[in-house]
Amino acid sequence: MQTYDDLVGRVRERGLLESIGSVLGWDERTHMPPCGSAHRAEQMALVARLGHEKLTDPKLKELLADLEASPPMQDAASEPAVNVREIRRLHDRAAKIPPRLVEELARTTTRAQQVWQQARHDNDFTAFQPWLDKVVALKREEAQAVGYRDVPYDALLDEYEPGATTTEVTKVFAELRAELTPLVAAIAASGKCPRRDILERDYPVDRQALFGEAAAAAIGFDFAAGRLDVTAHPFCSGIGPGDCRLTTRYHPRDFRQGFFGILHEAGHGIYEQGLPGAHFGTPLGSAASLGIHESQSRLWENQVGRGRAFWEHFFPRARQVFAAALRDTSLDDFLFAVNDLQPSYIRVEADEATYNLHIILRFELEQALVAGDLQAADVPTAWNEKFHAMFHLMPPDFARGCLQDIHWSMGGIGYFPTYTLGNLYAAQFMDRARADLPGLEDDFRRGDFARLKTWLNDRIHRHGQRFRARDLCQRVTGAAPSHQPLIRYLRGKFGEFYGV
């Protein structure tokens, strides 16, 4: 099929440009000298513009229209039909946003990120407020340009979680919150707490790196096709087939940051490495959604990596590697410490239960901003009121309140919900994996994670974007996305530690 091959060739070139951008971005955040940033910004802007041009090219639009009218497309499940469906989605979205708006968003968010960083440092919300105003106004314009069914927020959410709607996310989050709140309250009232000092002892960084890499390799991250480097704000970048970059950061007196950061990013990396390389650059070779991506990182980090069976294997090794820190520590005490549940101000430091409340708060505020019901100037008050109602704590400053996250400054409105969707999917997938693979915990006790990794490769990774997130969840687990598996998992695990 000449037309289809032509289409795929064009989209693959865009994929190559994106992948060039990923190398530049990875280098910028790991090895680039600070003085290189202005030149790097120019390189990245050029690559981004070329990619956007490829996607909005009138010839690509023509090819799509020809293909959509052709007989092979009648089978919606065929590979060409899937690629055409998703390329159409990408093209339409890109074409609907006027170049002027694309440029203005890029310019405004680059500047807004710098202002945000300074404002957070100075604890000065008023400095950031006009920039938040601008970003929200531009994102509202983007939502109008893209179009939506019910509310403008749908158009923004759809960029990160294709097919998800505000209504459906609101419903599942409300159900989650209704059960999470009493659980968190019961734990707070239990009077129990782990020995936190266990994780805040001397953990030499070079040993953390070796131990973390060994764990990432054990769960199935292929270091012949990837690597691990140090950065300030960790991320995983799938450059392309055979090349996936993980990053982390170490704290010499905090075991959690480095180790669980590595497991998290390795989970993303295993997904990237499991995508079909032959389809590189096309939707069939790309991750289903941010929520599904996050489900893979949370599954390894939390469901597996904070579980008893995992540590029955790794704890004896940790005691050898970190002999000074863990000499007098028992497995039970260590396990309780890595599962410390405690309301706190900062999202990225939150435990796996209260984390979701942080997301629900942001999801509600974002919707109000996009709907025009909340003005940027009123964000601190709205944030603190909601935060107090949810956590019974009052943020002492903006850095621990509404200025803590980078997302709004970079225009990432609609991004936050994908984190909690990831937690929901992770619990749901893990339930299914346990049912499909009896004795899985015994595997973990032996340090063997191959059956789980292969199951994820088969059920999720190899499909790329063949199924939208919701359909993939339905297909893998037999059920729509739901709060129940996550709540069951949290109740079971934390119930044991806290006796609630």
Enzyme catalytic residues: 265
Strand order across the 243-248 sheet: 226-230, 243-248, 236-240
CB 336 within 8 A of CB 194: yes
| Shortest Å, Cβ 425 to Zn ion | 12
Residue 230: CB atoms within 10 A of its CB come to 15
In terms of phi and psi (left: phi > 0; alpha: psi -120 to 50; beta: otherwise), the region of 123 is left
The CA distance from 210 to 312, in Å, is 19
CB 330 within 8 A of CB 200: no
| Shortest Å, Cβ 268 to Zn ion | 6
| Shortest Å, Cβ 471 to Zn ion | 22
| Shortest Å, Cβ 287 to Zn ion | 12
| Shortest Å, Cβ 252 to Zn ion | 24
Residue 146: CB atoms within 10 A of its CB come to 18
Q: Contact residues for Zn ion (CB under 5 A)?
A: 297
Q: In 3-state terms, what secondary structure has residue 79?
A: helix
Q: Which string of DSSP letters, residue by residue, matches 300-318?
A: IIIIITTSHHHHHHHHHHH
Q: Which residue is nearest to Zn ion (CB)?
A: 297
Closer CB to Zn ion, 282 or 295, in the complex: 295
| Greatest Cα-to-Cα distance within the chain, rounded to the nearest angstrom | 70
Closer CB to Zn ion, 84 or 426, in the complex: 426
The CA distance from 356 to 340, in Å, is 15
Closer CB to Zn ion, 14 or 264, in the complex: 264
Closer CB to Zn ion, 297 or 339, in the complex: 297
Residue 107: CB atoms within 10 A of its CB come to 12
Q: List own/partner pairs for 323-327 with CB under 8 A and 24 or more apart.
A: 324/201, 324/202, 325/198, 325/201, 325/202, 325/203, 325/255, 326/198, 326/201
Dump strand ranges (E) for 383-456: none
Distances (CA, A) of 423 to 164, 238, 300, 302: 15, 21, 11, 9
Closer CB to Zn ion, 8 or 287, in the complex: 287
| Shortest Å, Cβ 294 to Zn ion | 5
| Shortest Å, Cβ 234 to Zn ion | 9
The residue type of 197 is D
Q: In 3-state terms, what secondary structure has residue 48?
A: helix
Closer CB to Zn ion, 289 or 297, in the complex: 297
Closer CB to Zn ion, 19 or 297, in the complex: 297
